């Protein structure tokens, strides 16, 4: 029999056993759908995460800190070096440095419409900070000019704390902030009044600027009567200068400091995502193994049911390889159709999950026990990215596994004695 005749014969039998063929195909469909949906979502999430991380970290940036999370085996390494505000002035004068600012982060209570919100207050050089994060640190209203010691730049969600268009804070408003600081052995809680000079555009995503206040660094240091800072953020002119600037900074601190680049973090995260997607896809592939076992069982039953048919075919001159080909063709068709349906179903599932995965997160404020906390708008949509190569490999895997698991039943069918087969009831 020609290959075309073998395929036609296999398809005609599948039409007679439509329900059985569909149920057998269903296992393949589920396995392929799981692989396609997971890889597509993983690729889309990686692109989305990278984009949002670039927005929040800035492009070509370095972070100088006393803690390094990239030590041996990913361990945390802490240095005894103390960072001072003046260090940013030295770093700013290094060749190929575009901007640099020291950052001191504190927590305070902000009073808006008689409601107290606990927020992060960032003490920074605001003009330098705007150069570093030029893609996100933009004004919705107001400007960064003519800053005074009592000036404050307000994150978007602070000005719009209710998750709608109701604006609670405007330019030139006075904002009361309650800070607790130490004076000797005593802790003092005191109200400070700041004047709003600008409201930032909504950054969204992973950026925390929407729920923060930004005040001049000197103001925070004066209030707390300190000189050390939390970390220093540096913007480099171009990506090819990052390594040289990084080495000069480490040389200044005698290698007793951690200098982390946004590119290195992004590269690490991309590697982690690739491994994670590969691992989860391997787990999903177990469904295909189960489907293969199902195909083997169905083929074994089918061979038994069609024993007399096999005897008739052999008595008419069909060779062993023809019988083998008929059953393997049935398995291949089941794998192929199940693979195609699985790819389509997997893409549909990935698009549904991608649009709903972050729907539970939204901007606004939450309340617990009288304490109000602003939340960042993380209503992100993952756009699944389908790799055609993944589709081809999934289809080949579905067909290949189906044929492999059908080999034993098909071989048994091809070796049946025609006389014994004809006498089978």
Band (pLDDT 50/70/90 cuts) for residue 72 is: very low
Check whether 74 has a pLDDT greater than 80: no
Band (pLDDT 50/70/90 cuts) for residue 129 is: very high
Check whether 280 has a pLDDT greater than 50: yes
| pLDDT for residue 95 | 92
Q: Please spell the DSSP secondary structure of 18-29, one letter per residue.
A: HHHHHHHHHHHH
Q: Mean pLDDT: which of 61-75, 304-318, 359-373 is highest?
A: 304-318
| pLDDT for residue 377 | 53
Q: Kindly report whether the global pTM for this prediction surpasses the value 0.85.
A: no
| pLDDT for residue 76 | 62
Check whether 126 has a pLDDT greater than 90: yes
| Alpha carbon of residue 378 to chain centroid | 13
| Separation between Cα atoms, residue 304 and residue 293, nearest integer Å | 17
Query: Can you give the three-state secondary structure of 316-345, one letter per residue?
Result: CCCCHHHHHHHHHHHHHHHHHHHHHHHHHH
Domain boundaries, the chain: 3-54+272-422, 82-255
* Exposed / middle / buried, residue 254 (Cβ in 10 Å: 0-12, 13-18, 19+): exposed
Choose the weakest-confidence range: 67-71, 216-220, 375-379: 375-379
| Separation between Cα atoms, residue 57 and residue 235, nearest integer Å | 10
Choose the weakest-confidence range: 136-145, 194-203, 297-306, 398-407: 297-306
Q: Mean pLDDT: which of 291-295, 361-365, 367-371, 393-397 is highest?
A: 393-397
Whole-number CA gyration radius for the chain: 33
Element (DSSP H or E) covering residue 213? strand 212-216
| Separation between Cα atoms, residue 302 and residue 287, nearest integer Å | 22
| pLDDT for residue 50 | 77
| pLDDT for residue 366 | 47
**Nearest to 57, CA basis, from 133, 120, 126, 2:** 133
H-helix segments, 58-140: 87-92, 126-132
| pLDDT for residue 232 | 94
Check whether 381 has a pLDDT greater than 80: no
| pLDDT for residue 365 | 46
Higher pLDDT, 239 or 216: 216
Mean pLDDT on 241-262: 89
In angstroms, the Cα distances linking 191 to 136, 188, 337 are: 30, 10, 70
């Amino acid at each position: 029999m020609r290959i075309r005749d073998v395929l036609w014969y296999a398809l005609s039998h599948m039409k007679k056993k439509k329900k059985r063929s569909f149920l057998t195909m269903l296992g393949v469909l589920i396995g392929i759908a799981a692989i396609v949906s997971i890889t597509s979502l993983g690729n889309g999430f990686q692109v989305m995460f990278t984009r949002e991380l670039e927005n929040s970290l800035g492009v070509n940036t370095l972070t100088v800190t006393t803690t390094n999370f990239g030590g041996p085996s990913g361990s945390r390494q802490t240095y005894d070096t103390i960072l001072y505000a003046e260090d940013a002035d030295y770093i700013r004068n290094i060749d190929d440095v575009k901007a640099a600012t020291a950052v001191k982060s504190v927590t305070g209570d902000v009073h808006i419409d008689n409601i107290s919100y606990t927020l992060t207050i960032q003490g920074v050089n605001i003009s330098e900070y705007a150069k570093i994060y030029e893609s996100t640190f933009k004004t919705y209203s107001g400007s960064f000019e003519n800053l005074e010691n009592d000036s404050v730049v307000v994150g978007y969600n602070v000005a719009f704390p209710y998750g709608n268009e109701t604006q609670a804070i405007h330019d030139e408003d006075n904002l009361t902030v309650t800070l607790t600081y130490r004076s000797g052995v005593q802790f003092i809680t005191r109200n400070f009044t700041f004047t709003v000079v600008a409201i930032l555009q909504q950054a969204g995503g992973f950026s925390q600027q929407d729920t923060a206040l930004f005040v001049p660094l000197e103001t925070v240091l004066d209030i707390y009567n300190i000189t050390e800072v939390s970390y220093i953020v540096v913007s480099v002119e171009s990506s090819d200068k990052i390594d040289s600037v990084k080495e000069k900074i480490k040389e200044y601190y005698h290698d007793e400091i951690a200098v982390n680049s946004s590119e290195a973090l992004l590269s690490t995260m991309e590697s982690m995502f690739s491994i994670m997607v590969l691992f989860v896809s391997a787990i999903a592939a177990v469904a295909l193994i189960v489907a293969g076992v199902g195909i083997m069982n169905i083929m074994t039953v089918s061979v038994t049911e069609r024993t007399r048919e096999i005897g008739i075919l052999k008595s008419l001159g069909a060779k062993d390889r023809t019988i083998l080909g008929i059953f393997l063709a049935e398995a291949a068709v089941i794998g192929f159709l199940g693979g195609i349906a699985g790819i389509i179903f997997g893409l549909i599932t990935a698009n549904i999950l991608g649009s709903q995965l972050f729907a539970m997160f939204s901007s606004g404020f939450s309340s617990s026990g009288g304490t109000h906390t602003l939340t960042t708008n993380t209503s992100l949509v993952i756009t699944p990215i389908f790799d055609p190569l993944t589709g081809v490999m999934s289809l080949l895997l579905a067909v290949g596994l189906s044929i492999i698991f059908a080999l034993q039943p098909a071989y048994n069918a091809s070796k049946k004695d025609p006389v014994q087969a004809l006498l089978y009831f």
